[in-house]
Amino acid sequence: MDQQHALQEYLLRLGDSSMILGQRLCELCGKAPAVEEEMALMNVALDLVGQARNWYEYAAELEGKGRSADDLAFRRDAHEYRNLLMVEQPNGDYAVTMARQFFYDTWHYFTLQGLANSADERIAGIASKALKEVTYHLRRSAEWIKRLGDGTEESHQRMQDAVELLWRFTGELTTADEVDTSLEAAGIAPNQQQLASDWQGMVKEVLTEATLELQPEDAWMYMGGKQGTHTEHLGFILAEMQFLPRAYPDATTW
């Protein structure tokens, strides 16, 4: 695969995953279980949207077709999105929200840690800045996994159910494809084998401390988000997220 094309795809994966999860979290504005949690969720969402903008800007420059970060975020159809399937899953109850966040944060943290040493200086700079924010994201979501998993009988069961519900989407986080491997060979993307090992190690450690049952690593997994094949949920997210930019195409949002 041509390296520039692979890099554009990779940047869209990073930007789209952050953007869609940020949008999902914004749906909880006014609906979080406590005011403090609402503020925390909105801060995480803002961090993710800001990171998405940085990835989109670089992707748009590489594309060279005159499109902006706005165009990439708000004027593409679902099949053109490259986000992980995990991030488009519904919020559910708070156990589901935090399980989704933890699985993603763990992947995001180790991905950015690797990208901070990327041979691409632009990527290394964006990743280093984002890593500071995501370190907090991971610490927060991991604490919620432990708090609910090792809490009351009901909170434990809800978190166990959430882990089992979302586990089938975790395979995509650590399964490399041609884009990942080609950029790894060029020193741009992190070592995929190390990323998978780090993700699995962190997840196992936190779930064990939370007294939650570990899920089988060889379980059947949903795949395809990174290649543009999504669940039905993404279309509904984009319909809401893109309504104003498409209705008023001359408006700017950043």
**Domain span at 238:** 3-247
Average of pLDDT values for 220-230? 97
Whether 100 is in a domain gets the answer: yes
Whether 254 is in a domain gets the answer: no
Q: What is the pLDDT of residue 252?
A: 65
Whether 62 is in a domain gets the answer: yes
Whether 253 is in a domain gets the answer: no
Whether 165 is in a domain gets the answer: yes
Whether 241 is in a domain gets the answer: yes
Helix orientation angle between 121-149 and 94-115, rounded to the nearest 10 degrees:
150
Whether 21 is in a domain gets the answer: yes
Q: What is the pLDDT of residue 218?
A: 86
Whether 252 is in a domain gets the answer: no
- CATH number for the domain spanning 232: value is 1.20.1260.10
Q: What is the pLDDT of residue 248?
A: 87
Residue 254 predicted with pLDDT over 80: no
b/e for 28-47, b at 16 or more Cβ within 10 A?
Answer: beeebeeeeeeebbbebbeb
**What three-state secondary structure class fits 49?**
helix
- pLDDT per residue as tens digits for the range 80-93: 999 999 999 999 99
Alpha helices in the chain (DSSP H): 3-26, 35-63, 69-74, 94-115, 121-149, 153-166, 171-174, 178-185, 192-209, 233-241, 243-247
- How many domains does the structure of the chain reveal? 1
